[in-house]
Amino acid sequence: MTSGALLGKVVIVTGASRGIGAAVARRFAAEGARVAAVARTQHEGDFHLPGSLDRTVADIVAAGGEAVAIGADLASPETDRAAIVEQTVAAFGAPVEVLVNNAAAAFHIPTLQVSERRLRVAFEVNVWSPWALTQAVLPAMLDRGQGWVVNISTQAVDAPPGPPFSAEAVAGGIGGSVTYGGSKAMLERMTVGAAVDLYGRGVCLNALRPTAGVHTEGADQLADWTGVLVEPIESMAEAVLALATCDVDCSGRVTDSLHLLMELGRPVRDLAGDALVEGWQPSDIPAQMAPFGVV
């Protein structure tokens, strides 16, 4: 049974056409949120991966929830981020109470191959869009003395151990991740800085990383999960929900999904909010992590 933790609350979730964003949108709607799903892939077939805003909204409505689709290319400097907030308020007749900045430009490109365009896209999606959307929702949140912003980050923020660097770090994997890891590092620092500046005013701003890999349409198509800890998308969605409903004292955290769930002892439910996800409850997580040396 769902708790109705977000009953009636207006929520924006970016990158909601597939993957973590679509999962968060569905999980939030199951808790009673009115969801504005934002992404550039409006219709099925607009992108090479499965998933679209049409599908996310249809899934939510079919389950009895309320959602609207807002098509927006967050990689474009021409996109008016404040207009996304205005459209959401107009659609639901109420201010935004929760913002989940999930959309990401996840480039892992060797330094000498990083073009100006790729670097600008990483900045637009991973830094500027979360900043501009947050600035647009904050006035109403501060007026009410209540609001939540969750910024989705990545373990790629952490540089490979060294120096000296291992042959594996130098030759393959995500390497130095100068665009993705670097831009998300800025997002994390902005999150904590904003939490400090707004401390005591009722708004919670936190950053959340997946603990390791997450089963999504894009990742499952491209990644080799051999020897890698991979969590279900439900655990990530549950962790986002936890930070979108937390007490104000939690503001300013940079944490990861599985450790947060263990810390809170929070049950992990399916995206409908009904059934528990087998094998991924807080008591199960240490055994899932142990074979991969994740502590």
Q: If phi over 0 gives left and psi between -120 and 50 gives alpha, with beta otherwise, what is residue 97?
A: alpha
Ranges assigned E (strand) in the chain: 10-14, 34-39, 66-71, 98-101, 147-152, 203-209, 213-214, 230-231, 254-256
- Residue 124 is given by DSSP the state I
Sign of the CA dihedral with 273 first, then 275, 225, and 257 last: positive
Per-residue CA distances from 284 to 1, 57, 230, 277 (Å): 21, 32, 14, 10
Q: For residues 116 and 30, what is the distance between their CA atoms, to the nearest angstrom? A: 41
With contact defined as beta carbons under 8 Å apart, do 67 and 96 qualify? no
Among candidates 99, 77, 96, 80, which has minimal Cα distance to 88? 96
> Residue 180 catalytic?
yes
With contact defined as beta carbons under 8 Å apart, do 20 and 102 qualify? yes
Tokens representing 139 are 């006035």
Burial 115-130 (b: 16+ CB within 10 A, else e): eeeebebbbbbbbbbb
From the candidates 180, 207, 240, 242, give the one annotated as an active-site residue: 180
Residues labelled as active-site residues = 180
